[in-house]
Structure 1
Amino acid sequence: MTILTFLLYTCITGLVFYALHLFNLRTPHRNRLPPGPTPWPIVGNLPHLGRVPHHSLADLATKYGPLLHLRLGFVDVVVAGSASVAAQFLKVHDANFASRPPNSGAKHMAYNYQDMVFAPYGPKWRMLRKICSVHLFSTKALDDFRHVRQEEVAILARALVGAGESTVKLGQLLNVCTTNALARVMLGRRVFGDGSGGGDSKSDEFKDMVMEMMVLAGEFNIGDFIPALDWLDLQSVTKKMKKLHVRFDSFLNTILEEHKSGNMDFVSRLISVKDDADGQGGKLSDTEIKALLLNLFAAGTDTSSSTVEWAIAELIRHPQLLKQAQEEMDTIVGRDRLVTEVDLSRLTFLQAIVKEIFRLHPSTPLSLPRIASDTCEVDGYYIPKGSTLLVNVWAISRDPKIWSNPLEFQPTRFLPGGEKPDADVKGNDFELIPFGAGRRICAGMSLGLKMVQLLTATLVHAFDWELANGLDPDKLNMEEAYGLTLQRATPLMVHPRPRLAPHVYQSG
């Protein structure tokens, strides 16, 4: 088939689809789809997504309601934009939406769906999740490796003190800390030298790789929605994914080779584990192990570090709240040691700050997509089999029908007497679901919550903060850069000022 013939065929197909769609709009039928904007020929509603899709979808929800139907190319997409609608999908119909739709990110970066995040719902997925739950995220595992997290956070504190009068790129140092903490559990060693990150080209490269993966994974690739155009790679997304995959695969191959010598860390357990889920007794393949490690390094590092970066940015903009948090910690912890995880349960105001950060700046603004295994009905609307589900977590946590002054940073809303004193972030309260909910809730939620709380507490307790170049906090850029995770448009550049006894930063 020549390119001219192909393009002619594509256009005719698109026009036929568009005519059928208009006909369906004018023909009453009992299978009533949720409301949404009229799609364009062929591309459907892809142009409606804009530069920052979670913003655009929130705007569309104000016009069409909290349950949207879009046609992205030839794919039906439904978007949940309120807590009640999200609960319908993720609680009432959770089993029906337990799998992921096909997408180029999973195919080209996640070893063709061999990972845990994008694997179809079934025995393999359950086995991978169980392995992580037992060896990484169980209460026992978290307690066993508490000292690792505290040691790495102490190393971060020393690095910040060692920066002196230099400007610090906080997000990069936070990423080094979270990556080293996870690597010590998974690999039995740090991956970035002493953990300081200062001038460490490898740590810069790794963070860049993770950030690029999150940006690419968050792209609405035209080829995913118009399969006939996939081979053209019109946005060069597939080319970038394949190139990045080669870099990550090299990194993971090195790790795998180093851990086939019998060391008893997480990777060694993966190498030796038997797959009892399918009854065949076969070992996990190297590809499946690398895919799982890719999930853990990508989702377990950047999400936590970016959330803490947002937290410090908000507290710099609200010095009175920073001071209140410091006073709480000075009373409970004192100034002669660093905060520990044991302290966290008593730091009521600090916990409220973390919840408010998860509300205003959820690490995954649009939930990872799910697919309808069968037709169903939600709020009286027909949801076709094969529909992709997106939950606009960002919009739900800013819904003015649920939250007073939703755009304001107000941790007190989670304190006794506030509007949501009992709300949690663990998937039970659908107005606040930064980790998702239901069967595909983030597997590392417990670890992520501990890391964000400990890092935020330490940075608040151990330092005062000034912006680089004497920038007025009121002028700090708080714009978002869209990707799979919610990054700052501009990195937070700061001067940390130690506020504890000098010997505190030398211990640990």
Structure 2
Amino acid sequence: MSFWNIIFAFVFFASILIVKNMRKTRKNLPPGPPRLPIIGNLHQLGSKPHRSMFKLSEKYGSLMSLKFGNVSTVVASTPETVKDFLKTFDADCCSRPYMTYPARITYNLKDLAFSPYNKYWREVRKMMVVELYTAKSVKSFRHIREEEVASFVEFIKQSASLAKPVNLNKKLMKLSGSVICRVGFGISLDGSKLGNTYEEVIHGSMEVIGSFAATDYFPVIGRIIDRITGLHGKCERVFKAMDTFFDQSIEHHLENENIKDDIISLLLNMERGETGLGEFQLTRNHTKGILLNVLLAGVDTTGHTITWVMTHLIKNPRVLKKVQAEVREVIKNKDDTTQEDIERLEYLKMVIKETFRITPIGPLLIPREASKDIKIGGYDIPKKTWIHVNVWAIHRNPNVWKDGEVFIPERFMDSQIDYKGLNFELLPFGSGRRICPGMGMGMALVHLTLINLLYRFDWKLPEEMNVEDVDLEESFGLSCPKKVPLNLIPVLTQWT
């Protein structure tokens, strides 16, 4: 090849590369803050990324571009932009990016929450919805909820007789853990491998899978960073604790063939090929990955939701008095609470909605990933872009919520806004294909527990505390529990 042919070839291919780069730069990406070399915007996240992203969105807009190491992301912060991602383009935005520590804890993405959008995910979700989370299934487990809540009430009575404060964070976590262990695993939480460490393990798991892990943004040095920060070690500890618990639960079922009415029995039948999961044959790791979702979603979110409700009620005596009056009027001296009773508790439902609004359990939804190039609000969202939905920002949006920093249940009076994924102003459980399928199961326990707490007891702060001392700070993870435990003194009423 002659010298000039070589020069021509070089110029030709260089021109192609330049044109490609120009096309990339011509992409109309959403606005965002300036980035530092290598780390991008990671330094701007802070200890509570949902709050940091909200502050940035106030300056850069409801759809914002950020760069986390090698990862390009967009953050949606208003109902309008979120609706585009979760409804209009849901099919193109409902897959998951690969995240190292969620992959580890879910047995290499064999679960429902972190699995990419594919045939396996669709079959697992269909199975979970049909077999575990139907209204019929929720109703069939009512006796378990009632037994565990009754036991919980007895503990509260003992504390009330001694005028002893109750750590509601801890006790409500144990209540939801006890219910889920019986419903999903067919065993009692007390005496199990998680009996003494369940709170630490579950909270640690939610921290790990909700973390912004260096490994995901810096493939070469990220693992070293995560080992230095302790994230890698924490992941291994909680994974081993969970795995041991799953082994114990499965072994219990294999030794007791009469246990047939819980999720483990269903999954073991699928492992043996007795019931199908479409074209997929379940392995033991598939079973454990699915069980992880049942355990974490059932225990963590339910317990923390009730804790936050009680926190806001003790912080707002007017609201507490009003909701107690309603509950006591509707329930009166009935031993059993029916679904019809719950439907009549209009103000209690407003209190729960307002709690979801002002302190959402999951302030950032699990990241999504664009499966192809799309355009949202006039901006280009390239394929493989990570999508963060900032629920916390949506719930504080001043254009939607007047006095958004104030707890006002009455804002839902005569309002059609609900938390079931159809109203993008209120998204505690997400929306679209990835909406939490266990919402009905969790809310059944939330309602039953709150009715008992408000009907049977009055509540007061420990003597050294005032209402102003009640802390509202949250911890960050995939879910955000109350950081400082809520300690309240129960007072026996005439209905107790």
Instruction: Say yes or no: TM over 0.5.
Output: yes
Any idea what the Cα deviations from partners look like across 1:360-416, whole Å, max 9, x if unmatched? 111100000111111100000010110111100011011010011111111111112
| 2:37 partner SS | coil
2:285 aligned partner:
287
2:366 aligned partner:
368
1:328 aligned partner:
326
- Shift in Å, 1:29: 4.8
Once the two structures are superposed, the pairs formed by residues 23-34 of structure 1 within 5 Å of their partners are: 29-34=25-30
- Shift in Å, 1:476: 0.9
Specify which of 437, 449, 455 is matched with residue 449 of structure 2. Answer: 455
Any idea what the Cα deviations from partners look like across 1:129-187, whole Å, max 9, x if unmatched? 12221222101111111222122212211111112322211111111111111222223
- Distance (whole Å) between structure 1 residues aligned to residue 353 and residue 370 of structure 2: 31
Aligned length: 467
Amino acid at match of 1:445: M
Specify whether residues 129 and 322 from structure 1 end up closer, same or farther in structure 2 by C-alpha distance, changes over 3 A only.
same
Any idea what the Cα deviations from partners look like across 1:36-66, whole Å, max 9, x if unmatched? 1111111111001111100000000000001
Report if aligned partners of 1:187, 1:265 keep a CA contact under 8 Å in 2. no
- Distance (whole Å) between structure 2 residues aligned to residue 338 and residue 320 of structure 1: 27
- Shift in Å, 1:453: 2.1
Specify whether residues 221 and 115 from structure 1 end up closer, same or farther in structure 2 by C-alpha distance, changes over 3 A only.
same
Once the two structures are superposed, the pairs formed by residues 26-425 of structure 1 within 5 Å of their partners are: 29-163=25-159, 164-192=162-190, 203-234=195-226, 235-260=229-254, 261-262=256-257, 263-266=259-262, 267-273=264-270, 274=273, 276-279=276-279, 282=281, 284-335=282-333, 337=335, 339-416=337-414, 421-425=415-419
Any idea what the Cα deviations from partners look like across 1:9-51, whole Å, max 9, x if unmatched? xxxxxxxxxxx9xxx8x99954111011111111111001111
Specify the structure having the higher radius of gyration (Cα): 2
2:429 aligned partner:
435
Tell me, which stretches of 5 or more residues in structure 2 are unaligned? Answer: 1-16
Any idea what the Cα deviations from partners look like across 1:275-331, whole Å, max 9, x if unmatched? 744536x3x211111111111111111111111101101101111111111111121
Report if aligned partners of 1:169, 1:493 keep a CA contact under 8 Å in 2. yes
Report if aligned partners of 1:304, 1:448 keep a CA contact under 8 Å in 2. yes
- Shift in Å, 1:429: 0.3
Amino acid at match of 1:212: G
Moved over 6 A (4+): none
Amino acid at match of 1:242: E
- Distance (whole Å) between structure 1 residues aligned to residue 212 and residue 220 of structure 2: 16
- Distance (whole Å) between structure 1 residues aligned to residue 481 and residue 225 of structure 2: 26
- Shift in Å, 1:336: 5.2
Report if aligned partners of 1:104, 1:238 keep a CA contact under 8 Å in 2. no
- Shift in Å, 1:353: 0.5
Amino acid at match of 2:288: K
Amino acid at match of 1:109: I
| 1:223 partner SS | helix
Q: CA RMSD in A?
A: 2.0
Amino acid at match of 1:371: E
1:499 aligned partner:
493
| 1:301 partner SS | helix
Specify whether residues 251 and 216 from structure 1 end up closer, same or farther in structure 2 by C-alpha distance, changes over 3 A only.
same
Report if aligned partners of 1:339, 1:461 keep a CA contact under 8 Å in 2. no
Instruction: Report % sequence identity.
Output: 34
Any idea what the Cα deviations from partners look like across 1:112-132, whole Å, max 9, x if unmatched? 111111111122112221222
Specify whether residues 248 and 104 from structure 1 end up closer, same or farther in structure 2 by C-alpha distance, changes over 3 A only.
same
| 1:299 partner SS | helix
Report if aligned partners of 1:71, 1:77 keep a CA contact under 8 Å in 2. yes
- Shift in Å, 1:340: 4.5
- Distance (whole Å) between structure 2 residues aligned to residue 122 and residue 135 of structure 1: 20
| 1:300 partner SS | helix
Tell me, which stretches of 5 or more residues in structure 1 are unaligned? Answer: 1-19, 194-199, 503-508
Report if aligned partners of 2:31, 2:65 keep a CA contact under 8 Å in 1. yes
Amino acid at match of 2:442: G
